Every structure is written in structure tokens, then in C-alpha cells.
Amino acid sequence: MPTVSNVSSFRRVTPGILASAHLASQEDRPKVTKKEISLVLKRVAPAIGIDGTAYHVLDILLGLVQADDFQSGKRPVVAISNQRLAEYTRRTTRTVTRCLKKLVEAGVLAYRDSPTGRRFVYRGSEGEFAQAYGLDFTPACFNLEAFRDQADAFQRRIKAEQDAKRAVTRYSRAIADLTVLDPAEFEGLATQAKAIVNRNELTILEKAAVLESLYQETLASRDTETLEIQDKMSSAGDIYVSPLFITTQTDSLGSNNDRTCSNEQEDNLKTDNGFAVEMALEKEPCGAGIKSQQPKQQAGRGRPSKLPETNLDGVSIGLIQSACSAVQAETGLSLNSWPALCGAAEHLRLLIGLSPSGYQLAVERQGKYLAAACLVVVAEKALRDPEQIVSPGGYFRAMIDRAGEGKLHLHKSLHGLV
């Protein structure tokens, strides 16, 4: 069969391998560019289960494939051994073999094996392929539009789950406030809401919908009871009461303007453990005349260390928005504020293939704002030139290490991108 003519007999053939081999045998390959393939594959990678070492292997192969090989009449083949990939990724050859099989079954690559199983490329005098055996990106060219739709759907699902998490927190707090207002009446409601949150069989979207329905029904029933009480009181007839005028001046009215912040907020600012920036920006100002400050200014108030102030010195959200044009264009994310940048961190983390624990460690070390700023810079550089950064996750960790040493000059990198 032509679909398996390029697959060696020593491989255990699966339906996914057969499908990729069939696509690789087609001659009418869609016309795409290496940049399009790189961007779409990195966006769709988490949606099709390509992460960890598999993502690292994919990133190396994308860096090795030649851009001219995607033109008509040529073939985008990478001839690299499993042993060399194992050296690059610092994994065993068995791990690399499993990762390549995962990429082939996902429709990203196809095996193009030589009779001896070796991978090599022979080119003619004008650079054309005389013989090419290795890992073929032709299936990705055919599946490009399907991958793009999967990436968009995955990002929409991630956004919906994030909104649902916020809704669960919001309605849980609202129900807790009702319990504080009237413990006797709403104690059972709080217990019911807690049981809904702890139900593991429900998804986060279902929990948000159930809590919203419960909260809205409670408010509707309470409004109905209030209207009934008002109707009963108004039926007794109006009683004229002379107005009461207070002529004595007190200091209680003017004291509100001079009210200081709560002890809780002051303690949070004094005991800054790396998250004072986030806490200060998320909370509302205490006084009417206090203006919101930049993250680096809040970080500097908590402790004498100057690392957060130095690392974010000269960095503004406007500069980030101007510098990271490729990220906004390719992902549709809006970076018009610091909360928006932090909200996009999950998408950016998936885009560069960084593990959740790696990003969480960076947040704990340098705070949410600096970690998100470094994340978007790495994503921008990887999108502009995929060959420049072999391992975006490692590049991000190196930036966080330099920030810990006080040697990170993030504003220079942003001005360079602008």
C-alpha cells in the first residue's frame, strides 16, 4: 500500500500512523509557510496533548526544518536521529521515541523511513531533494486549518473556565455575606453552597451555573417577602409624622473623609512576601483622594529590597502593549491593563510550553506582574523568530533567575521589541 510504503516494518503501525502516512503520500500539499506552521502548532499543542518533552522535541524540529522546504516541489523533512534529540532534550532515546510517536499520531509529523531505517537528506546541485528520509511535516500542512480551529476552541474553553472560576468565587462570597447579614435565615443556604462547590462530579461551569441560580432565587424570594410586608404596612393608612431637623453639628460626618485604611490592608503592605503588588492593585483605594499606583511603586513600599522596583523600572503597560504586537495579533489577547496581562498569563504559558509549576514558582519568587511581563516577552520573541529561542520555557526561567540576581533589564528588551 502506498500509505505505508515509507514506514519501516519494525514499527508497530497504529491508525494514527497510517493516517499521517497517507497524508504524507499526497502530492497536492497545501501551500503554507514555516511561520504559519510554527505559530499554529505551538497554539494547538496543549489542545492535542503535546506538552513537556514532546513539545520540546516539536520545538527543536521546527527550528531545524528549512523554510524553503515548504515550497511546492520540495518536502519539509528533518533528518535528525533519536540519539541527537535525546542529547538536546536530556532525555532517554526511549522517551524521544514515544514523543515522536505522539506527534505522528496527532497528525503533526509522518515517518519517512529509509530501507535501513536511517535518516538523511541528499540534495542536488541546486538545493533540490535527491533523497530525503526522516520526519516529514507534510501532515501538518494538510491539518493546518483543523489545528487552527482546535486552538481557537481550546482558548475559548480556557477563557470560559476562568470566567466560571471567578463566578464561583463571586457567588460564594455573596452567599457568605447573606449569612453574615442574617445567620438564622441563611445558614442553610451557606451549607448548600459549600456542598455544591465540593461536588467533584460537577465541572467548574456547572458549579458556576448552579450557584448563580441559587443566589438569584434567594434574592427573588427575599424581594417578594419584602414587597408583601410593605403592602401590609401601607394598608394600615398613612400617619403624619412631623419632620425632625438636626441642628447640632457633630464631627461624625467629617471624620469619614479622614478615615485611614483598614488594619488588614496595612498589614498586607507591611508584610510583603512578593504578592503585595497584586494585593494592592486588586483592592479598592481606602480614601477618596488616593490614586492607584504602578506595581513597582507598591512593591517598593513593603520591604527594603529593591529587586521588584529594579526589575520593573521603566516598564509600563503601554510599553508592553506596544512591544508585544505579535502576541496580540496572533492570539487576540488584549494587553491594555495589568489585570488583563495577568489574566492572559495562562494562554501565554501554554503558548510557550511552560509547566504550571514553573510559572507558579516564578510568581512566588518575583510576583505576578513581573512573571507575566517576562512571559509575554518570551512569547513575543518566540512568535517573531521561532528559530531564535530553542526552549522558550528555559528562556523564561533564565529571565526569572536574572531577576532574582537583580540583573534583569526588562525595559531594554521591551524597547528593543518596539
CA distance 331 to 35: 15
* 291 pLDDT more than 50: no
CA distance 302 to 314: 20
Q: Within 13 A of 239's CA, how many CA atoms are on the CB side? A: 4
Confidence at residue 124, expressed as pLDDT on a 0 to 100 scale? 67
- CA distance readout (Å), 54 to 14, 62, 136, 143: 18, 12, 16, 18
* 297 pLDDT more than 60: no
Entry pTM: 0.53
DSSP string, 366-395: H-HHHHHHHHHHHHHHHHH-TTT-S-HHHH
pLDDT tens digits along 72-82: 878 899 999 99
CA distance 317 to 232: 57
Confidence at residue 147, expressed as pLDDT on a 0 to 100 scale? 94
State mean pLDDT over 321-342.
86
Confidence at residue 93, expressed as pLDDT on a 0 to 100 scale? 94
pLDDT tens digits along 380-396: 888 887 777 778 888 88
- According to DSSP, the residues that pair with 120 across neighbouring strands are 133
Residue 340's identity, in one-letter code, is A
Neighbours of 202 (CB within 10 A): 14
Residues 6+ apart with CB under 8 A from 20: 104, 105, 107, 108, 109, 110, 111, 139
Confidence at residue 333, expressed as pLDDT on a 0 to 100 scale? 83
Q: Are strands 129-136 and 120-123 parallel, antiparallel or unpaired?
A: antiparallel
Percent of the chain with pLDDT over 70: 75
133, burial (CB in 10 Å: exposed 0-12, middle 13-18, buried 19+): buried
Query: Which triple of cell numbers denotes residue 173?
Result: 462570597
Residues 6+ apart with CB under 8 A from 197: 168, 172, 207, 211
* 88 pLDDT more than 70: yes
Q: Are strands 120-123 and 77-78 parallel, antiparallel or unpaired?
A: unpaired
State mean pLDDT over 95-112.
94
* 305 pLDDT more than 60: no
Among 134, 83, 84, 139, CA closest to 109:
139
